[in-house]
Amino acid sequence: MTDYFEVHERDGAARVGELRLSSPISTPALVDDILEDAGSLWSADRDLPEGDDSQLTMLPHRAFPGGTADEVQESFGVDYPDVDYPSVAVVSSESPADHGTDAYAVSNVQSVTGHGAALVEAVVDAREAIPADTALLFSGVATPRNVAVLAYAGVDLFDETAAVVKGTEGRYLTTDEAYFLEDLEELPCSCPACQKPREEFTREDCAEHNVNALESELAIVRRRIRDGRLRDYVEGQARHDQWLTAAVRELDSQWGYLEERTPILRDAQISAATSDTLRRVEIQRFADRVTTRYRNRFSNPLVLVPCSAAKPYSESQSHRQFHDAIQWRAHLVSMTSPIGVVPQELETTYPAQHYDTVVTGRWSEDEKQFVSEVLQRYLERNEYPEIIAHVPDEGYHDIVERVEKRLDLDITYTVAEHPTDDESIANLSSALSGELKYSKREREHNTVRAIADYLLGDGAGDDLFADIQTTSRYPKIQVRDPEDTQLATMVPQYGTLSFTLAGARQWLESDAPTKRVEIDGFVPHGSVLAPGVVDADEDIRVGDEVVVEGPQAFAVGRAEMFGREMAESTRGVACEIRHVEEK
């Protein structure tokens, strides 16, 4: 826990934070100018420094290289004192521990840098062992090419060492390459150090340029985190080095670590430009919830259709044509890469209406495999009297056929040449001849219940909204009980539900899984700060609806931290309050 570091913005494991020194510093950042090293205890005994609020003081320490035996680390471990100024403890990623400091420097970073799996293991082990509201320092490894991936993994603080050393060695660093200085006919940069003729550019200038490039890259990283789009940037940036690509993929396999830290909703668009997008937490989580939580409540046939460029799909020209043919006689489910399958009730739910993908007309095998697996899991969970595939040949048809064979289904195909040509639309309408329409009431009630399932858990929709009425127009549906008390409102921007106090009480009384935040004896207005949180459910994610309760207040709002972070942190906004009632 810390008084000198506060997280303001989150993008997965990456954070924009603030080192609360006398002159505050936004992180991820270089800390050379404000880092004071009290020295190693290997070489001599060290006095505890006086320290002050203008700098980050690394307390006397013993650093252990990678592979140091556990018994050696235990024998020579340091007991860090409790100090009243910004402090750093040195830990090995092989035996990290909470020492009550504001930041933690990992001693064995040199041995893991350059190895994707080793790097990720080091960061994850360190971050899981130290409090959520403390900063992580990697010294001697940051370059313009790797710092975005390091920040994405969860590292907050860096130094100039690697950039300066490479510069004095004559290596000119950019975000995608390290050039030998003698191989450059001209300088591909306009930073202050590069504002001179090439023949006058020295190795000292090269070192200055490298630091400038590193600072510039960190500014881009901070901007990307604030925008919620660091992952899009990292997918391209990691391509410049194989070990960085390996690190990103290894991070994707660390589901628990990334999923806990990734918001369930946000405004930022996902750019699906590489195959690595399929492994993103947001994509995998959506597919998992659709295939384990969502349940179809319509008794009509299923119609599978292709996605559209316009979001939500129902507002696109092609889907309007599909709706004109279907006329509410079937349940519509869209197929898409990289999302998988999207039932019509969840078309506004993040990230179903928040992605953009490269359209080539050709599906990669990775895309086909992913979408077919999701579709298979979906159909194994949901039964339909009939399945109609209104999909084109390009990839979609192949995917449906794969699942049809695996599950031994009999699927009707209705597309002649293109899904929106007259013959295909006529085939679709004819295939549904004799089917009864479902009502607007059924449509809206099933939408509310499906969103509740998606957000809260399998069966939550029926547990929480078994007897309701709906008002207003889709997608701004208001949910009311039989006595006309408003319980919740659908938020079309994210496809989520916003509860009222009455809805929050009904949520607690139902069998639906709850997300609780326990607070101290005060009445929150506007927000709950982390110091006021007594405890919080560990399954809370940023963006979740939460019930907030304490001795003096009952409230409902939206989480701004994940559950464990709320309980551990000493600074920052834990959740924003929408409605509150004093007890």
CA atoms within 13 A on the CB side of 297: 23
Given this model, what pLDDT does residue 27 score? 98
pLDDT at 145 over 70: yes
CB neighbours of residue 191 within 10 Å = 16
Confidence of residue 356 (pLDDT cuts 50, 70, 90): confident
* Alpha-carbon dihedral sign for residues 209, 122, 274, 318: negative
- Candidate from 70-79, 397-406, 513-522 with smallest mean pLDDT: 70-79
List helix spans (H) across 488-538.
501-509
Tens of pLDDT, residue by residue over 146-195, are 999 999 999 999 999 999 999 999 999 999 999 999 999 999 999 999 99
* Structural tokens at position 366: 């990775």
CA atoms within 13 A on the CB side of 277: 24
Q: Are 64 and 27 in contact (CB under 8 A)?
A: no
Annotate 169-186 with b (16+ C-beta within 10 A) or e (fewer).
eebbbbbeebeebeeeee
Tens of pLDDT, residue by residue over 22-78, are 999 999 999 999 999 999 888 888 989 999 999 999 999 888 887 888 788 788 888
Topology of domain 5-260, per CATH? TIM Barrel (3.20.20)
Given this model, what pLDDT does residue 73 score? 79
Tens of pLDDT, residue by residue over 490-513, are 999 999 999 999 999 999 999 999
User: What does pLDDT average to over the chain?
Assistant: 94
In whole angstroms, give the CA distance from residue 2 to residue 568: 10
pLDDT at 118 over 90: yes
Note the CATH number of domain 456-582. 2.30.130.10
In whole angstroms, give the CA distance from residue 294 to residue 289: 7
Given this model, what pLDDT does residue 151 score? 98
Q: How wide is the angle at C-alpha 206 spanned by C-alphas 205 and 211, nearest 5°?
A: 100
Domain 275-432 has CATH 3.40.50.10630: yes
Given this model, what pLDDT does residue 69 score? 84
Given this model, what pLDDT does residue 361 score? 67
Three-state DSSP at 304 gives strand
Given this model, what pLDDT does residue 107 score? 92
- Candidate from 64-78, 110-124, 424-438 with smallest mean pLDDT: 64-78
Tens of pLDDT, residue by residue over 453-474, are 999 999 999 999 999 999 999 9
pLDDT at 80 over 80: yes
pLDDT at 423 over 90: yes
Q: At what angle do helices 230-237 and 242-253 cross, to 10 degrees?
A: 140
pLDDT at 515 over 80: yes
Alpha carbon 345 to its chain centroid, in Å, reads: 23
pLDDT at 268 over 90: no
Reported in sequence order, the residue ranges of 93-156 that DSSP labels E, i.e. its strands, are 103-106, 135-138
In whole angstroms, give the CA distance from residue 572 to residue 550: 19
* Structural tokens at position 123: 């960061």
Percent of the chain scored above 90 by pLDDT?
86
Tens of pLDDT, residue by residue over 84-110, are 999 999 999 888 999 999 999 999 999
- Candidate from 56-65, 204-213, 512-521 with smallest mean pLDDT: 56-65
What residues pair up with 575 in beta bridges, in sequence order? 528, 559
* Structural tokens at position 475: 């997608």
Percent of the chain scored above 70 by pLDDT?
99
Domain boundaries, the chain: 5-260, 275-432, 456-582
Name, in order, each residue with C-beta under 8 angstroms of 236's C-beta and a sequence gap of 6 or more. 273, 274
